[in-house]
Structure 1
Amino acid sequence: MNNPFESPAFSMTALTAAINLLPNNYGRLEQMGLMPEKPVRFRSIAVEEKNGVLTLLPTLPVGAPGTVGKRGKRALRTFTIPHIPHDDVVLPEEVQGVRAFGSESEVQTLAQVMAEHLQTMRNKHAITLEHLRMGALKGVILDADGSTLYDLYQEFGITPKVVNFNLGNANTDVKKKCLAIKRHLEDNLKGERMTGIHCLVSEEFFDALTSHPKVEKAYERWQDGAALRSDMRAG
């Protein structure tokens, strides 16, 4: 006959560790500060664009009438701010008779459950905002279901530039591809200035780029010439 007091069902087990698995919180664009937040009081915003005119002035004989200046065109675009509500509830079974996470004797409290739910809701809003920022950076803002909210190329009449790096080919001139992108950006600054180019790429593209034979060779030459470029007197 089994002794009920020696059964594992009535024994105590010491809790030696607690592991809380949290999802990744991506916030690269927020860290870069490319799209700072600007609160508004309305459900829609307007973006006004003024296309300036810059032309070369010809030389004319003395006494000839001067050229007449031309005015740039203005355009106004209106965007509706997406409404993204999110609600959550605390159920009785989440609190009643539930052991607190990581504890052996304490029970779960309502304040702890509410704090966890609020933190989860905040993280969901943060990752949604990061998703919208990344879509704006790519030019096409997508909803959570994959549908298009705004196609910025179409809204602003821009034709996207596509450069095929063809990194699977060892003979690809990677430097020429990079210069093509740089020249395209320089030609379309529209009077703005830039101090550098920062590209966000996928893991596959980064691995293919850094492992390309010509990139590896260029990096080796750069490393070998470090002593010639730097002042080595300080050691």
Structure 2
Amino acid sequence: MDNAYLTNPEDKYETPWFLLKGGIFESFRYDTFESFNEKLWQLVVAITSKRKKDDNEKQRLLETIEKIVLMIKGCHYFLHHKKRLNFKEDWIDIKWLPNPYRCLEKYRPREDQKLNHHLAHFREPFTKLTSEEAQNFTTAFKNFFAEMDLSSWMNLLDDWKACIESDESLFDWQVDYAPLKTYEKFLALHEACIIGYHWAEIDYPPPNRHLYEEFFNTSYESYRDASPLE
């Protein structure tokens, strides 16, 4: 095949951004972490109530749905092209194993849980990802589509959109029986996308950042700088 839509990255160094620019980056490009999540919550409140909305509010809510659609399509694009290109990268395809040299729990400091996990040093307050998803954000993408396929997610969001346009609630339509659970899924996917952005930018703060800065008395520039293997 040869057409305008079939593109490839120029080299392996371009691949991370090639994967993110299928919709992930554009979905939150003009939002902060907090503002995106706030818009998600406002959307859920709107589609679960029968309160009448003016045209301006409807427009804002529909724009939020479009961002969610873009995010979901972008995650599907990421997984599809990662597989198509057979792209493997140490920082997202590494197999994590328990540390055999980790000290016994009774000897660990109080700050242990706060400092020693994969998301400890991110600015964003991540709360929705499992430990496995925190270690590899693509796992969160896979889990999202294991719940429902892309077409089903798009159909569900079409119904959300129709509820907004018709000033009705999801309970009238009877299509999403657990909108809060759906909301939680979107929050987790958003968190995984933000981690993916940091990965592509090579500014993923490593879980051993505190050790690196305190013992070596120096800052780090990227995950790779703080790795004892490089």
Larger helix percent: 2
Larger strand percent: 1
Which structure exhibits the higher relative contact order, with contacts defined as CA atoms closer than 8 Å and separated by 6 or more residues? 2
Q: Same fold (TM over 0.5)?
A: no
TM-score range, shorter chain: under 0.3
If you compute each CA radius of gyration, which structure gives the higher value, 1 or 2? 1
